[in-house]
Amino acid sequence: MAFLEFRGVSKVYPPGIRALEKVTFAVEKGEFVFLQGPTGAGKTTLFRLITQEERPTEGEIWFSGRRIDTLDPRFVPFLRQHLGVVFQDLEIVPDWTVYEHLVAPLVVLGVNGKEARKAAWNVLRLLGLEKKSTFRARWLSGGEKQKLCVGRALVHRPKLVLADEPTGNLDAASALEVLNLLWNLSRNDCVTVIVATHNEALLERFPARAILLEQGRIRGERF
């Protein structure tokens, strides 16, 4: 069984808007996959189905050998603890500092203070944000916020990273830097990474599989 598998998954939002239609694909462990498609293709909905912010209207979703679309809501937090998500709308708290954002997933996991500090500082250094660790998120630029969101998705070493337009607010050099980070994570640490993007130029630079999504349907795959 694949590490992540969608089997005929559809999602219809009231009053009948079809966001996804019979989507079927599989992603292996440690694989780096692009989810490519224009705005409104259903990329974010697909991610929201994995994080269980939404439930599919039909079909099955399997993650790490378990069916998650019928998961009891009480167990959803434990599923999310295995995921690292870079949200399209960033989902940051303006009042929290950069450091607090990075430590939050570790605190939730019950990692002790010393290890949490160490892991947070590693990510801060990796993203070049160490001088802004005490800055409140509201004081950061758009690109820095995006980097922070990437860092928060990686800090707890998740099994699966979902990055929804992670380079949307970044300049070309920073975008490449962030994607290189995710690429190396997948290559070196065997972490499964799915990157949703509509930026075709980025796809050319990484020899990864791309799933083409259009109007909620898979139109093909590219290797």
Partner 1 sequence: MGRFSRYMFRRPGLFVLGVLSVLFAGVLVNATVFGYLEAVRLREHWRERFTIRAIFREDVNRESMERIREEVARYPLVEQATLVLPEEAKARFLERLGLSEEAVAGISFPASLEVVPRHIEDLPEIAATLRAEEAFAEVFCGGKEVEGFLRLFRLLLGSLGGFLLGVLGFGVFVIVVTTALAVQLRGREIEVLSLVGAPSAFSLAPFLLEGLFGGLLGSVGAYLLSLAFFVPFFRLVSEAFPGFLWVNVEELLVVFFPLDLGVGCGMGVLGVLLGHWRARRRSP
Binding site for partner 1 (CB under 8 A): 51, 53, 74, 77-83, 85, 87, 91-96, 104-105, 107-109, 152
What is the distance between the alpha carbons of residues 191 and 185, in angstroms, rounded to a whole number?
A: 6
Nearest distance in Å: CB 162, partner 1:
11
- β-bridge mates for residue 36, sequence order: 197, 212
Nearer to partner 1, 65 or 110 (CB): 110
Nearer to partner 1, 111 or 218 (CB): 111
Nearest distance in Å: CB 81, partner 1:
4
What is the distance between the alpha carbons of residues 194 and 51, in angstroms, rounded to a whole number?
A: 13
C-beta of residue 85 within 8 angstroms of C-beta of residue 164 = yes
Cβ-Cβ contacts under 8 Å for 139 (sequence gap 6 or more): none
Nearer to partner 1, 79 or 176 (CB): 79
Nearest distance in Å: CB 100, partner 1:
8
Nearest distance in Å: CB 117, partner 1:
12
Nearer to partner 1, 91 or 221 (CB): 91
Nearest distance in Å: CB 85, partner 1:
7
- Alpha helices, DSSP H, located in the chain: 43-50, 76-80, 98-109, 113-127, 142-154, 172-189, 200-205
Nearer to partner 1, 21 or 144 (CB): 144
* Nearest 10 degrees: Cα torsion 139, 141, 147, 149: 50
